[in-house]
A and B are shown apart, each in its own frame.
Chain A
Amino acid sequence: DVKVTQSSRYLVKRTGEKVFLECVQDMDHENMFWYRQDPGLGLRLIYFSYDVKMKEKGDIPEGYSVSREKKERFSLILESASTNQTSMYLCASSLYTGRNGYTFGSGTRLTVV
């Protein structure tokens, strides 16, 4: 079975901390995505990457950065965590065209206190 693995299911961090969320896929997918999901707002795209070392901003990149040094790994970085970044974070991957669909990880529920 194809898999997208997010390193943590639950995280609690303090305001101002630098936070790393890791995502690994084992399907040799070109595309990888980071979303945040909040009640009533649906899925909002933070960043995506279509190749190693390539990244593109999504709809809400402010306060976040990403890193893709290897094809299978896509990291989301909160440079200085704030309480308004408390959310569910979802990683996904796909083949370049996305025709076969997008495979999601189980999510990381981040709480910033």
Chain B
Amino acid sequence: GNSVTQMEGPVTLSEEAFLTINCTYTATGYPSLFWYVQYPGEGLQLLLKATKADDKGSNKGFEATYRKETTSFHLEKGSVQVSDSAVYFCALSVSSGGSYIPTFGRGTSLIVHP
């Protein structure tokens, strides 16, 4: 079956530090890959996506590159802010029996201190 594994949190950083959240996946076929962000008490918001190998998704200073050879989609940001504190979910979507049901990782909590 399909699965997404992401690093456990919480990840605690100081403001302006470099962020990496690792994500690896297992899927049959060629998945689309996503990063979502969830702020406290809210639903998930799409942060960025990539639909084919070597694509780079980017948004709000966050980036992730679709690496087919390592089945990875690591999230990076060069300089985090306190407002980036949230839970981040890696996800994939691929056809399974004709349906496209997303598979989500467990989420990684990011805490950024001033």
Decide: B89 and A106 in contact? CB cutoff 8 A.
no
Q: Which residue of A lies closest to B51 (CB)?
A: A99
Given contacts A31-B100, A98-B100, contact A106 B43 (CB under 8 A): yes
Q: Does A20 contact B (CB under 8 A)?
A: no
Q: Is B46 in contact with chain A by the CB < 8 A criterion?
A: yes
Stretch of A11-19, A43-51, A60-68, A73-81 with 4 or more beta carbons under 8 angstroms from chain B: A43-51
Can you list, as one digit per residue, whether each of A31-50 has a CB less than 8 Å from chain B (1) or not (0)?
10100000000110100101
Q: In the complex, how many angstroms separate the beta carbon of B98 from the nearest chain A beta carbon?
A: 9
A90 located at the interface, meaning its Cβ lies under 8 Å from any Cβ of chain B in the complex: yes
- Taking CB atoms, residues of chain B closer than 8 Å to A50 are 99
CB-defined contacts of B95 to chain A, threshold 8 Å:
97
Would A48 and B101 be within 8 Å (CB), given that A42-B107, A100-B49, A101-B34 are in contact?
yes
Q: Tell me how many residues of A have a C-beta within 8 Å of chain B.
A: 26
Residue A25 is within 8 A (CB to CB) of chain B in the complex: no
Instruction: Report how far A100 CA is from B58 CA in the complex, Å.
Output: 14
Task: Give the complex CA separation of A98 and B20 in angstroms.
Answer: 25
Which of A92, A96, A107 lies in contact with B100, CB distance below 8 A? A96
B73 located at the interface, meaning its Cβ lies under 8 Å from any Cβ of chain A in the complex: no
| A103 neighbours in B (Cβ, 8 Å) | 46
CB-defined contacts of A56 to chain B, threshold 8 Å: 99
A106 to B44, CA, bound (A): 8
- Complex Cα–Cα for A58 and B99 (A): 12
Q: Which B residues are CB-close (under 8 A) to A43?
A: 89, 104
Residues of A within 8 A of B101 (CB): 33, 45, 48, 58, 98
With an 8 A cutoff between CB atoms, is B106 at the interface? yes
A104 x B44 contact (CB < 8 A): yes
15 examples of A-B residue contacts, CB within 8 angstroms: A4-B43, A50-B99, A56-B99, A90-B44, A94-B100, A96-B100, A98-B93, A98-B100, A100-B49, A101-B34, A101-B49, A102-B46, A102-B93, A104-B43, A107-B43
The 7 closest A-B CB pairs, nearest first, are A98-B93, A104-B43, A98-B100, A42-B106, A101-B46, A104-B44, A43-B104
